[in-house]
Structure 1
Amino acid sequence: MSIIKAMSMMELFPSLSDDERVGLEEQLRDGSAWSVNFGVMLGCSVLLAGLGLLQDSVAVVIGAMLVAPLMTPLIAIGLGLVQGNYDLLRTALQSMWRGVVVGLVLGFLLRVLIPGSELTQQVASRGSANILDLFIAFFAGVAAAYALARPKMSGALPGVAIAVALVPPLTASGIALGSQDWSVALGAFILLLTNVVMIVLGSAMVFRLHGLKTKDLDHKVALSMKRIITGLVVLGVLGMAPLAYRLIDQVKIGQSRPASYPLPEELWSALYQRAEQEKGVDLIRGLRTGDFGIVEVKIFLLADRPVRQVLIDDLEKMVKNHMGADTQLTVRAAQSAPIISSTRVPREMPGIVR
């Protein structure tokens, strides 16, 4: 029985020849080294991902995943851990931390420099990772290492890059930092770290099964590699608890799908300044619905007196000048009053619909 199992393992994970091992190591080292080409491709992928995220465009985000070069350093780290290859580890780690810095900075700048940009659903979704993302990253690492170890399957690598999505959460974290949305920024960065850890573990497992471990590895080096891998496993296990909790929470309340979006910052500022001129009236909220065709804008006011028609006309003019003449405007005003008891609520004034 053990012989049959051994033969099955050999078929699934055949040993590589010396030339194939050397070729794999050189391929990963060259692909992981920080260079002008690496930096340009990474910068382009981050900018593509950022623009796609800000426009809520899935197609553009997918294109950014295909361009991104970050997958190769992670696979190289997995091979470096299995072989105890400090040079390969150093090369890949340097590229990774530089890539993370570039991604955060470019994402931040996109948010700051593009007027009226906002946190779309594509950005927010990267800040709510769950345990399924952990398994996606692990099996993506397995698939990538398996494809690299068997050159005839290298055509599967673009699909792996799309599945794991390293650059979008990195860019989303930078965009959220620019918006000072610390929750989304932290969630997206945790998703990135989860992907990194699980890809490294998945690729290391595959390379080990392929017999790529160096036989004459020094005892101290081997012990160091085992400790690093153990630490990564512990990180992965520790990450399961909050990610599993988040999945359970999402199952309970359902997936987040926004029914409306914030108004552009320039329009919101103008509306707020106009409302400030009206005595006894405060602008408390503004939102929009619809992306194509007819767009509806809703404005909510808090007033201690009847709202003048001239204010409504001014708000309508400002909205249509900014959003288009076909924009539908709804203005609702609530009268400010204290809550007397649990059975009484503030009296609401009739809504004004335009």
Structure 2
Amino acid sequence: MQDPKKVSHTASQTWQLFKDVGLKAIPIIQLRESLLKDSKLTQNYLVLIVSSCLIASFGLLLNSAAVIIGAMIIAPLMMPLRGFSFATLEGDLKLLWRSSISIFSGTMLGIACSWIVGTIISIPEFKEQVLSRTQPNLIDLLIALVAGGVSGYAKIRPEIGDAVPGTAIAVALMPPLCVVGLTLSQAEWGYTQGAFLLYITNLIGINLACLLVYVFSGYARSNEVTRTLSWGVSIGLIGLLALPLGFSFVELIQQAQANDSIRNILVENSQFRRSDIELIRSDIDWNYHPPSITVVVRSVEPITPQDVTLLEDLIKTKIGRTFKVVFDVTASTKVESQTESQKSNN
């Protein structure tokens, strides 16, 4: 049995190692001054917000991941957010006020710019890059936690640079913020709500991850941790967000299972094997009870009500849940070249 004193001494040495790693990277006073500078609402910050937002908005409308990556590289929102995390941990009111103003101003400016872009261009139908940011789930929260941790570590380790955390945080913040403005411009309230939930989720996740990095790096003394409410508030908010995000994650898994089942049934199931059917895509609407699956196909022969009933039964057997199936059929005609005999007869 291990000696309790030795175990306590080992734990104390481990904690001191974490503290030494952080404090040797950059002194706390120097870190605070750097965060104060990063969190200041300046002309440069506002220009970067507008530039990043415009690039991201155009990329979202074009459905171009490459253009969106260009906006990610700018990543202005990461600078005051790291200051906000440090301020809540240290109880630094000056830094807290300055970083809060910058985050709020950047958020409102980003929404306004993307709303203007959406109003002027007025695209009636949004594509994948927009729609993928209107249904947040637990995976998005995990991305935010990792991005926040990398960002906080990069701040206390200046030698690794800001490029990596800047790109990581931009993935979590600027694109969904632009989706909020774009969907607002077209009065798509459901999409707006989902995108804003993703934005808030990632703000909170990044904040908590930065807090953890600062603590394990030795930038918080025990009395400072006990007098701040940032831990309780951040963890509580993440707990509340985990409920809707968890439901969305379950729906995402069920949708993937349903899509896979539909494809297998149409292609491989002997009861429903039809060579004339080509599956284009399938979409699930969870607002109905039971959920409705729209199956978009091309078919030479008509789809009958009996075919729909059979597919519903097969999906229920495979997944264990009832779905209402609706086919969206595009007529398909096979055209072949004339054979030599046909040509001679003509």
Name the structure 2 match of 1:251: 253
Helix, strand or coil for the counterpart of 1:157? helix
* Contact 1:42/1:99, CA 8 A, preserved across alignment: yes
The structure-2 alpha-carbon separation of the partners of 1:33 and 1:7, relative to structure 1 and needing over 3 Å to count, comes to same
Name the structure 1 match of 2:27: 20
Q: Give the Cα separation in 1 of the matches to 2:160 and 2:10.
A: 25
Name the structure 2 match of 1:236: 238
* Contact 1:54/1:120, CA 8 A, preserved across alignment: yes
The structure-2 alpha-carbon separation of the partners of 1:231 and 1:158, relative to structure 1 and needing over 3 Å to count, comes to closer
* Partner residue of 1:66 out of 60, 68, 73: 73
Q: Give the Cα separation in 2 of the matches to 1:93 and 1:215.
A: 25
Name the structure 2 match of 1:197: 204
* Partner residue of 1:85 out of 69, 92, 111: 92
Q: Give the Cα separation in 2 of the matches to 1:34 and 1:168.
A: 21
Name structure 2 gaps, 5 residues minimum. Answer: 1-6, 260-279, 281-297, 299-308, 310-329, 334-346
Amino acid at match of 1:247: F
Name the structure 1 match of 2:147: 140
Q: CA offset at residue 20 of structure 1? A: 2.0
Q: Give the Cα separation in 2 of the matches to 1:256 and 1:10.
A: 51
The structure-2 alpha-carbon separation of the partners of 1:351 and 1:255, relative to structure 1 and needing over 3 Å to count, comes to closer
* Partner residue of 1:46 out of 53, 65, 78: 53
Q: CA offset at residue 73 of structure 1? A: 1.3
Helix, strand or coil for the counterpart of 2:161? helix
CA distances 1:289-346 after superposition (whole Å, capped 9, x unpaired): 9xxxxxxxxxxxxxxxxxxxxxxxxxxxxxxxxxxxxxxxx9xxxxxxxxxxx9xxxx
The structure-2 alpha-carbon separation of the partners of 1:351 and 1:249, relative to structure 1 and needing over 3 Å to count, comes to closer
- Say yes or no: does 1:171 pair with 2:141: no
Amino acid at match of 2:165: L
- Say yes or no: does 1:157 pair with 2:165: yes
CA distances 1:143-198 after superposition (whole Å, capped 9, x unpaired): 21112112223353344335x42100000011011111111110000000000111
Once the two structures are superposed, the pairs formed by residues 1-354 of structure 1 within 5 Å of their partners are: 1-13=7-19, 14-16=21-23, 20-116=27-123, 118-155=125-162, 156-162=164-170, 164-213=171-220, 223=227, 225-226=228-229, 228-254=230-256
Count of aligned pairs: 258
The structure-2 alpha-carbon separation of the partners of 1:6 and 1:126, relative to structure 1 and needing over 3 Å to count, comes to same
The percentage of aligned residue pairs carrying the same residue is 29
Helix, strand or coil for the counterpart of 1:254? helix
Name structure 1 gaps, 5 residues minimum. Answer: 258-288, 290-329, 331-341, 343-349
Alignment RMSD: 2.9
Q: Give the Cα separation in 2 of the matches to 1:67 and 1:141.
A: 16
Q: CA offset at residue 15 of structure 1? A: 4.3
TM normalised by structure 1 equals: 0.66
Q: Give the Cα separation in 2 of the matches to 1:71 and 1:158.
A: 7
* Contact 2:124/2:186, CA 8 A, preserved across alignment: no
TM normalised by structure 2 equals: 0.68
Q: Give the Cα separation in 1 of the matches to 2:216 and 2:106.
A: 29
Name the structure 1 match of 2:315: none
Q: CA offset at residue 250 of structure 1? A: 0.8
Q: CA offset at residue 241 of structure 1? A: 1.1
CA distances 1:264-307 after superposition (whole Å, capped 9, x unpaired): xxxxxxxxxxxxxxxxxxxxxxxxx9xxxxxxxxxxxxxxxxxx
Q: Give the Cα separation in 1 of the matches to 2:149 and 2:74.
A: 20
Q: Give the Cα separation in 2 of the matches to 1:99 and 1:256.
A: 40
Q: Which has the higher helix share?
A: 2
The structure-2 alpha-carbon separation of the partners of 1:166 and 1:256, relative to structure 1 and needing over 3 Å to count, comes to farther
Name the structure 1 match of 2:283: none
* Contact 1:54/1:118, CA 8 A, preserved across alignment: no
Q: Give the Cα separation in 2 of the matches to 1:11 and 1:58.
A: 41
